[in-house]
Amino acid sequence: MEVEVLNMEGKKVSAVELPPAIFEAPISVDLMHQALVMQMANARLGTHETKVKSDVSGGGRKPWRQKGTGRARQGSTRSAQWKGGGKIHTPHMRSYNQAMPKKMRQAALRSALSVKAAESMIVVVDELKLNEPKTRLMAAALNTLVGGASALVLIPTLESYEGILRSTNNIPDAKVLNANYLNIRDLMVFDKVIMPIDALELIKANLG
């Protein structure tokens, strides 16, 4: 699959061949779904906590004797049926982490990239460079490259593209991401993927 290489003005400067092993891989919806569920689950903190009967202070004394009062028997005022009592069947602190083999995660990324490529949602640029780190300039460049679509901008290193990152921070429909941290959620959330040639080479090395 050959795609055009554009400059920041949206003009074609050359063409590049996308490796078929990555951008024309078999598409597995189930695998992409599993990778997305894993990523979303691993992002959960799991710090929720509620108090059970033994955690609530007070209630050590039996409210009234077992028999002869005409009332229901009670053992503690901290039982769940009492106001201020402990809770039953409520969430407690735990880990939501899920595991997925590396080869399956990579296959899910190749599936997602193949979907983007099949829908012409991959935009390759010769280089990402602005005269100065200004949100206005980056917004104009994104509008030229992807129009009104949301964009995931992949960069090879943060050091060389710090100006691009600063210029994109305040743009709601765009995100700058190190190509080493490419993930299934960002590929699904954003409409188009913008990458310079050196970021493409990094993806080839990671997923090829």
Q: In this structure, what DSSP letter does residue 79 have?
A: S
pLDDT on residue 59: 87
**What is the number of other CB atoms lying within 10 angstroms of the CB of residue 113?**
24
pLDDT category at 104 given cuts 50, 70, 90 is very high
Residue 182 tokens, joined:
């490419």
Q: What residue spans in the chain does CATH classification 3.40.1370.10 cover?
A: 2-45+100-207
Q: Per DSSP, which regions of the chain are E strands?
A: 2-6, 12-17, 122-125, 151-155, 174-178, 192-196
Work out the average pLDDT over 84-109: 96
Element (H, E) at 69: none
DSSP at 201:
H
- Fold classified for 2-45+100-207: Ribosomal Protein L4; Chain: A; (3.40.1370)
Output the CA–CA distances (angstroms, integers) from residue 30 to 24, 40, 113, 123, 184, in the order listed: 17, 15, 15, 26, 13
Amino acid at 70: G
Per-residue pLDDT tens digits for 118-172: 999 999 999 888 889 999 999 999 999 999 899 999 999 888 899 999 999 999 9
3-class SS of residue 183: coil
pLDDT, tens digit, 9 for 90 and up, residues 170-198: 999 999 999 999 999 999 999 999 999 99
- Residues recorded for the chain: 208
Distance CA 164, CA 132 (A): 9
